[in-house]
Amino acid sequence: MKIQLVDLHAQYLTIKEDIDEAIKRTIADTSFIGGDEVRKFEQAFAQYIGVNHCVGCANGTDAIEIMLQAMGIGKGDEVIVPAISWISTSEAVSSVGATPVFVDIDPDTYCIDAKLIEAAINARTKAIIPVHLYGHPANMDSIMDIAGENNLLVLEDCAQAHGAEWNSQRVGSFGHAATFSFYPGKNLGAYGDAGGMVTNNSELAGKARMIANHGQKGKHNHLMEGRNSRLDGLQAAILNVKLSHLDHWTALRISHAGYYQELLKDTPLKLPHAQKETKHVYHLYVARTGNRSKLMDFLKQNGISTGIHYPQALPFLPCYQNLLDSVHDFPEASSAVSEVISLPLFPELTKGQLEHVATSIKNFF
C-alpha cells in the first residue's frame, strides 16, 4: 500500500465533472483575468470567513506583503512573527522594508507564544502576524488584547487554517486584516498559485486592491505605483467549486485526526491536540518524536510518505543570520524542529490507509 502525504489527484476525481465544467466555461468566456468568477469567489469567501471584504491576489506571500503595505508598514518598522512558520511570513515583512522580530512558540500548539510577545515590543513595533500553524488557531484573545494595549495592528496569516475557529469564530475575522494562500496543497487549494486578503476595513481593502492592480482606482487612473498580483479567472472558477466542499473536507480531516489519536495513543509519539477554545482544521497532522529520522525511513520502506514542517526555525535560517543576537535562542522552536513529523492527512484517506499508517508506526516502536 502506497500512501502519499497529500493526494491532490484523489480529490480531483471526487469533483472532476464540476471542475472540468468550470474550466471549460471560463475559457469559453475568456474571463482570464478578473471577471465574474473572481468577483463571485471574493464575495463567497468573505462571507465564509465572516468579514466584509475579500481581495483576491496571485498567492499567499503577495497577500501578506500587499496587506502590510496597505497598512503603511515599511522601512524602520518592526513586525512580530512566530519563530516557526513557512518563510513567507517573515519574508513578506522584509519585502516591504520592515524587520521581522521573531518570538518563540508555545510547544503545545506550535503557534506564537502570546506570553512572550510583550517583551519583543518596542517603539518601532507596528504589527503582529500570528500564524495559525498546521491549522491550529493562535491565541487570538491574548494577541488582540496585547495589540490593543500597545496600539499595534494584527495581520493573521491564515494560509494553513481555512475554516479554523477560535471560540467558535473563524480565524481571519479577528485581526485588522488576514491573508490566505490557495496554493494547491492548502486546505482550500487552487490548481496553481492563488491568494486572498480579507478585512472588515473598507479603506484597507481598497488600498490592497489598488496595490495588487498597478495602483489603479478605475482603469488607467494610477493613484500610486502598485504591482501585478491578481487572482485569475480559472483559479477563481476552481476555488468556487471547491469552496462548497470545504466544510465537508474539514470534517473528514478532523475525523481522520481523531482516528489517528485513538490508534496512536499508546505509542511514544507526542500527538497534536486541539485546545478547547479551538476548531483545529489539521492542514497538517504534526506529531513529535526523538526518533524522527529512523521512523521516517521505516515508514518510507512501508510505502508511507511523511514530511517535516519545518526542518529549521525561521531565525536560524541562513538568510536571517544578520538578525540573530545572543539574547534570543528560541528554545521551544529549536527543540520542535528537530522532532516534528507530519503524517499523511487529507480528506480522501480511507480507514484502511489510516490503520496502515498507525500499524506501521506501532511496528516501528
In angstroms, rounded to a whole number, what is the distance separating the alpha carbons of residues 211 and 214? Answer: 6
How many residues of this chain bind ligand PLP (CB under 6 A)?
Answer: 15
Q: Which is nearer to ligand PLP, 314 or 349 (CB)?
A: 314
By CB under 6 A, residue 85 contacts ligand PLP: yes
Instruction: Give the cell for residue 212.
Output: 495588487
Among 45-53, 140-148, 157-165, 196-204, the segment contacting ligand PLP (CB under 6 A): 157-165
Among 57-65, 199-207, 297-305, 330-338, the segment contacting ligand PLP (CB under 6 A): 57-65
Selected binder of ligand PLP within 31, 109, 173, 181 (CB under 6 A): 181
Among 55-63, 113-121, 198-206, 284-292, the segment contacting ligand PLP (CB under 6 A): 55-63
Q: Which is nearer to ligand PLP, 182 or 330 (CB)?
A: 182
Q: Which is nearer to ligand PLP, 59 or 109 (CB)?
A: 59
Per-residue x/- track, 126-145, ligand PLP (CB under 6 A) = -----x--------------
Among 59-67, 143-151, 260-268, 346-354, the segment contacting ligand PLP (CB under 6 A): 59-67
Selected binder of ligand PLP within 11, 26, 31, 88 (CB under 6 A): 88
Which residues does residue 169 pair with via DSSP β-bridges, in sequence order?
166
Min separation Cβ 93 and ligand PLP, Å: 12
Selected binder of ligand PLP within 195, 196, 226, 315 (CB under 6 A): 195
Rg (CA), the chain: 20
By CB under 6 A, residue 81 contacts ligand PLP: no
Min separation Cβ 194 and ligand PLP, Å: 7
Q: Which is nearer to ligand PLP, 104 or 193 (CB)?
A: 193
Among 20-28, 152-160, 252-260, 310-318, the segment contacting ligand PLP (CB under 6 A): 152-160
By CB under 6 A, residue 60 contacts ligand PLP: yes
Q: Which is nearer to ligand PLP, 116 or 159 (CB)?
A: 159
3-state secondary structure the chain: CCECCCCHHHHHHHHHHHHHHHHHHHHHHCCCECCHHHHHHHHHHHHHHCCCEEEEECCHHHHHHHHHHHCCCCCCCEEEEECCCCCHHHHHHHHCCCEEEEECECCCCCCECHHHCHHHCCCCEEEECCECHHHCCCCHHHHHHHHHHHCCEEEEECCCCCCCEECCEECCCCCCEEEEECCCCCCCCCCCCCEEEEECCHHHHHHHHHHHECCECCCCCECCCCCECCCEHHHHHHHHHHHCCHHHHHHHHHHHHHHHHHHHCCCCCECCCCCCCEECCCCCEEEECCCHHHHHHHHHHCCECCECCCCCCHHHCHHHCCCCCCCCCCHHHHHHHCCEEEECCCCCCCHHHHHHHHHHHHHHC
Per-residue x/- track, 316-345, ligand PLP (CB under 6 A) = ------------------------------
Query: Which residues, in sequence order, are CB contacts of 293 under 8 Å at separation 6+?
Result: none
By CB under 6 A, residue 157 contacts ligand PLP: yes
Among 6-14, 56-64, 287-295, 339-347, the segment contacting ligand PLP (CB under 6 A): 56-64
Point out which residues bind ligand PLP (CB under 6 A): 59-61, 85-86, 88-89, 131, 157, 159-160, 181, 183, 193, 195
